[in-house]
């Protein structure tokens, strides 16, 4: 692909696995992405002086502040979805969108052959050359080793009882049951092609199968199905796992929050909690109550799943310092809050499939909206096509003037899709929309009639119209869809 391919198949009901077909990736090759408006980077490119003049306006620093954009949008702090509206939107999403699964609707057992089919749909051998981090090419022997680890023969012709677990730490979801990383380029090391996504502490999962060595589990979460290390799971009965999730109310609002350091509870000491992580909270706690060697003193006391020596679940209290942004329930669903949450990630390194302790473009917008209580499908293709929101499809032959007219109507927080990428609108100026997105690479005009490639590898605020794909097409000419997760604004952009 020239610049971006469609996303990998997203999880659907296991009894109706996706049809066979070529494996699809979240993004295409290593040149997908978009620009970060850092003058030092721009000025290091050939022709960058002209590019900087277009992309780095005098008020660039102001534009890196969510408050600057919020002030430019009348009514940005108005709550556009109340709690009932958020609940109704999520119910509609889980009812209508096959990319998400309500875990409480899963049966107690599934046909082993159906599980095997679902594993085979994910764990497909790469069809293009791949390399390990040391430069060694992936061989048929490597692929055979990973395939054998799937242990599919034991599923044939049997009924499989589902297990249940809670995730105890941030952990990768993988294509195959292996930590080995492979890349589509013998030099670049940013995009591990076996990385699918990640799960955060407290996430409930249904456990469908184990790898041949027992060190990995094939799990179904609400938004994804893939392989995860078993040592990041605390196993428990179904009712216990789902009951824990039902009690979760304390929402992490920081890009990353850390639990209090605690020598008395080393397994929880400094544990990282990503935005949108939601945990049960103990309410009405006496300020003098000592939690893991520290008085609560008004800090939220949350409950975390802990894995015992036998792999079973234990629940342990921990202090979430008040200095780490969190909220009792989701943040109010306003456009201002969506922008504030998005801007918390500015400068975080791009992480394909939640790799490198970061996130990618679709993970970024998912976590922002989770902090205001709204779920999104995990991958761009599924987000772009979801029937649960106010969606506008953009036909491939739609003229540019009509595309510009669609963009002018968009409000902060609205999402715009092109193949394999998503950007979030933050506002408009005389030259068009500005967006925030988690990006890898893009091309921009070099001032000499050509294009220059820029790598940002992080979350950046950029104008939309100067961005080009790696094959030289303007982003605006390849847009495929608009999703307005919050109710559409009644008036055009100011």
Q: Does residue 64 lie in a domain region?
A: yes
- Other C-beta atoms closer than 10 Å to the C-beta of 262 total 18
Tell me what pLDDT residue 54 has: 55
* 171 shares its domain with 296: yes
Q: Which of 270, 305, 324 is the last residue of a domain?
A: 324
Q: Which of 300, 324, 348 is the last residue of a domain?
A: 324
pLDDT tens track of the chain, all 494 residues?
A: 233 333 333 333 333 333 333 333 343 333 333 333 443 344 444 445 555 555 577 788 899 999 999 999 999 999 999 999 999 999 999 999 999 999 999 999 999 999 999 999 999 999 999 999 999 999 999 999 999 999 999 999 999 999 999 999 999 999 999 999 999 999 888 899 999 999 999 999 999 999 999 999 999 999 999 999 999 999 999 999 999 999 999 999 999 999 999 999 999 999 999 999 999 999 999 999 999 999 999 999 999 999 999 999 999 999 999 999 999 999 999 999 999 999 999 999 999 999 999 999 999 999 999 999 999 999 999 999 999 999 999 999 999 999 999 999 999 999 999 999 999 999 999 989 999 999 998 888 888 888 888 888 899 999 999 999 888 899 999 999 999 999 998 764 55
Q: Which of 270, 297, 324 is the last residue of a domain?
A: 324
How many helices (H) does the chain have, and how many strands (E)?
13, 28
Tell me what pLDDT residue 53 has: 56
* 181 shares its domain with 231: yes
The domain that holds 384 is classified in CATH as: 3.90.1720.10
* 118 shares its domain with 138: yes
pTM of the predicted model as reported, rounded to 2 decimal places: 0.89
Distance CA 295, CA 304 (A): 18
Q: Does residue 142 lie in a domain region?
A: yes
Sheet holding 171-174, edge to edge: 195-199, 171-174, 225-229, 216-220, 204-210, 163-167, 233-235
Tell me what pLDDT residue 50 has: 53
* 203 shares its domain with 178: yes
Asked if residue 259 lies in contact with residue 318, where contact means CB atoms within 8 angstroms, the answer is yes
Distance CA 249, CA 257 (A): 16
Domain that holds residue 176: 97-252+254-324
Q: How many domains does the chain have?
A: 2
Asked if residue 4 lies in contact with residue 420, where contact means CB atoms within 8 angstroms, the answer is yes
- Other C-beta atoms closer than 10 Å to the C-beta of 37 total 22
């Amino acid at each position: 692909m020239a610049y971006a391919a469609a996303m990998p198949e997203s999880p659907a009901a296991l009894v109706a696995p996706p049809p066979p077909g070529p494996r699809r990736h979240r993004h295409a090759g290593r040149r997908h992405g978009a620009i970060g408006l850092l003058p030092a980077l721009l000025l290091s490119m050939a022709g960058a002086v002209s590019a900087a003049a277009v992309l780095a306006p005098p008020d660039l620093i102001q534009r890196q502040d969510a408050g600057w954009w919020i002030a430019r949008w009348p009514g940005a702090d108005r709550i556009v979805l109340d709690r009932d509206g958020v609940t109704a939107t999520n119910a509609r999403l889980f009812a209508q969108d096959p990319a998400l699964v309500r875990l409480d609707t899963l049966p107690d057992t599934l046909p082993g052959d159906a599980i095997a089919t679902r594993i085979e749909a994910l764990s497909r051998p790469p069809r293009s050359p791949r390399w390990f981090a040391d430069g060694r090419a992936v061989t048929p022997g490597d692929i055979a080793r990973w395939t054998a680890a799937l242990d599919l023969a034991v599923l044939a012709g049997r009924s499989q009882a589902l297990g249940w677990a809670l995730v105890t730490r941030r952990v990768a979801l993988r294509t195959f049951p292996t930590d080995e990383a492979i890349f589509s380029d013998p030099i670049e090391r940013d995009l591990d092609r076996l990385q699918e996504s990640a799960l955060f502490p407290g996430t409930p999962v249904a456990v469908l199968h184990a790898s041949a060595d027992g060190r990995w589990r094939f799990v179904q979460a609400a938004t994804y199905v893939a392989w995860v290390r078993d040592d990041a799971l605390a196993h428990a009965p179904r009712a216990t796992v789902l009951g824990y999730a039902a009690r979760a109310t304390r929402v992490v609002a920081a890009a990353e929050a850390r639990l209090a350091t605690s020598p008395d509870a080393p397994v929880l000491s400094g544990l990282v909690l990503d935005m949108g992580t939601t945990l049960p909270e103990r309410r009405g706690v006496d300020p003098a109550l000592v939690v893991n060697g520290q008085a609560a003193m008004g800090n939220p006391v949350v409950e975390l799943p802990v894995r015992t020596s036998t792999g079973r679940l234990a629940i342990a209290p921990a202090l979430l310092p008040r200095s780490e942004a969190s909220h009792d329930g989701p943040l109010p669903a306003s456009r201002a809050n969506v922008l504030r949450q998005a801007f918390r990630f500015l400068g975080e390194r791009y992480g394909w499939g939640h790799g490198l302790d970061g996130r990618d473009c679709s993970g970024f917008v998912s976590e922002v909206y989770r902090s205001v209580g709204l779920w999104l499908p995990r991958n761009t293709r599924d987000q772009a096509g979801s029937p649960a929101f106010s969606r506008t499809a953009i036909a491939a032959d739609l003229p540019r003037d009509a595309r510009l007219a669609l963009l002018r109507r968009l409000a902060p927080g609205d999402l715009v899709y092109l193949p394999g990428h998503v950007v979030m609108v933050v506002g408009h100026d005389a030259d068009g929309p500005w967006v925030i997105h988690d990006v890898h690479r893009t091309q921009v005009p070099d001032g000499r009639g050509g294009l220059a490639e820029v790598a940002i590898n992080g979350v950046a605020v950029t104008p939309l119209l100067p961005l080009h794909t790696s094959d030289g097409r303007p982003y605006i000419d390849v847009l495929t869809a608009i999703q307005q997760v919050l109710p559409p604004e009644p008036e055009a952009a100011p």
